Structures are given as C-alpha cells and as structure tokens.
Structure 1
Amino acid sequence: MWPLWIILLLLRPSGGPGPPLCPREPFYFLVAIMKMLGNKNDGTLYAPDDLSVCPAETLGCFRLELSVIAFEEGPSVGTVVFRLQRLLDALGSQLWGTAQSPCPPCEEHPQRPVPLFLAKLLELLQEACAQHLPSS
C-alpha cells in the first residue's frame, strides 16, 4: 500500500505562479519513517480522523504522537521524526492561522496501530495540501 501513496504523491501536477507551494519535504520524511518501520505493529497511537475540525490542534496531536515513535525506536528513526515534526509545525502555521475552540484533547481521538497512524497522517496531509495549497 505504501508504494501506491508514493506514486500518487509524486504524480501530482506542479503548481504555477500564485499562492505558496505545499512543500514535499514533510511527505518525504513521513514516507521515510514508514519505510524504516515497515509493518511494525507495536502499540497504538491517537490518530485524529479529520483535519477540518480544529486543524492546527489536530496536526499538533499527530506531532505529539510522533514523539512516541521517536522515543520507542531510538535515534535513527528519532532524527527523521524530529525533522518531520519541525516541518509539520511550519506547514501547520502556513495552512491554518489561529486556533479554534473548543478542540478535543488528543486522547479523545481513536487509537490506531502505528502503520495505520502513519497512513492516516499521510492521507490528511495530502487532503490539506490539496485544499489549501498547490503542490510543488
């Protein structure tokens, strides 16, 4: 399933002049983490279903849960996770300005196995970029 996401991501048309471009780097780091972990299915992580409800906070939940992966997997994965987290921070501020309220805490989102958590993050990032920014 991962190769299909990669192909779809890379086949998106290029954006022209106009609004800021949706950066590809978060996708590259996310796919790298997916490859590093493979189908490793240890534990579950809170994975929001919808970025349209409290988008900045929801992306923040994914960011926090990525810290669990970094801690559990050690420095090799942790370095890639840290870089992805920084890119998610920048992307979140680019896509969404101010916080909405009330927003549910991260712990109220459904728990998913790590591969499904990462797939959901990839899906939501693709949707967010498609709705808000042209691809680069």
Structure 2
Amino acid sequence: MWLFWAFLVFIHPLGGPPLQSPSCPWEPFEGLVAIMEALGDTNDGTLYTPDNLSVCPMEILRCFGVELSVIGHEEGPPLARAVNRLQRTLRALGPHLWGIRGRAASEPCPPCEGYPERPVLQFLVKLLELLQVACAGVHQVG
C-alpha cells in the first residue's frame, strides 16, 4: 500500500494540479485509498474494467460506479459505506469535469459488460488513472 501512497504523492509534482483545487477534490482519491486499504490482498474477484479512458468518459465513470457496487455488496457494510461515499463523489464530480454529456464519442459507448474483466486492484488503479487524467485537465468542462 505504501507504493500507492507514494504514487499519489509523486504525481502532483510531476505536473498535476493541486489536489485541493475546486476542479480536483481530494475526496475521490481518499475514497479509493480507503477501499484499497480495506481490501488489502483479500479480494480475488474481477470487475469489468475499461481500457480506453478517453472515449465516453461519463459512461465509463458510470460503469466504474456500477462495478464499485459489486465491491460494496461482496465485502459487507463497513466497506459498503466507503463505496457509497466514493460513488456519490464520482456522480457529483463527473459533470463538473466533463460537462453534462461528456466528450462526444465517434462510436457508441459499449455497455459496462463489454469491457474486459480485471482483478479488483487493477480496476481500482484504472479508476485512479481516470481521475488523474481528468484532474490534470485533459478533459474540458462544457
């Protein structure tokens, strides 16, 4: 877990915006860390995990939220509360980062079940990557 914390600490000096800025709140990062720490190495499940984060960002964010529900359901009440908080934060953050509809896709957005299944830790790391890209200003609000 120390590697994950180091990754979060070092990503800011490498060009990311301050994590406390209004466009990039700390809550989703904090929620991810809480879930990762609670899971540790005990979860061997898989979740649908998008690979290309630049296509259909709002739909991808919704898919991450749906798949997070699986973690909360399987792990029980203490982790379910952390998952619910993260889901609420993501729902509020999405329109702020990408606008109401997100970027227009050149093709239809695939359903969540169309993405490959990956281990839970890889799923959470991919969600972290999506948030870092969004908070680095790659996507335009509008």
Change (3 A) 1:10 1:73: farther
- For residue 131 of structure 1, the aligned residue among 122, 132, 137 is 137
In the TM superposition, residue 131 of structure 1 has moved relative to its aligned partner by 2.0
- 1:48-127 aligned at under 5 Å gives the runs 48-96=50-98, 97-98=100-101, 100=104, 102-127=108-133
Contact 1:51–1:59 (8 Å) recurs in 2: no
With normalisation by structure 1, the TM-score equals: 0.85
Unmatched tracts of structure 1, length 5 or more: none
Post-superposition offset of 1:121: 0.7
Counterpart among 1, 14, 18 of residue 14 in structure 1: 18
Match of 1:4 in 2: 6
User: Please, which runs of 5 or more residues in structure 2 have no aligned partner?
Assistant: none
The alpha carbon displacement at 1:124 in A equals 1.4
Identical counterparts, % of pairs: 56
* Matches of 1:112 and 1:88, distance apart in 2: 20
Alignment size in residue pairs:
131
Residue equivalent to 1:44: 46
Deviation string, structure 1 residues 35-60 (Cα, Å, up to 9, x no partner): 11012342100011122100000010
1:132 Cα offset (Å): 4.8
TM-score by length of 2: 0.82
Find the aligned partners of 2:60 and 2:120 in 1 and give their Cα distance: 17
CA deviation after TM superposition for structure 1 residue 20, in Å = 4.2
Amino acid at match of 1:73: E
Question: Highest relative contact order (Cα 8 Å, sep 6+), 1 or 2?
Answer: 1
Deviations 1:35-87 (A, max 9, x none): 11012342100011122100000010000000000000000000000000000
Change (3 A) 1:83 1:107: same
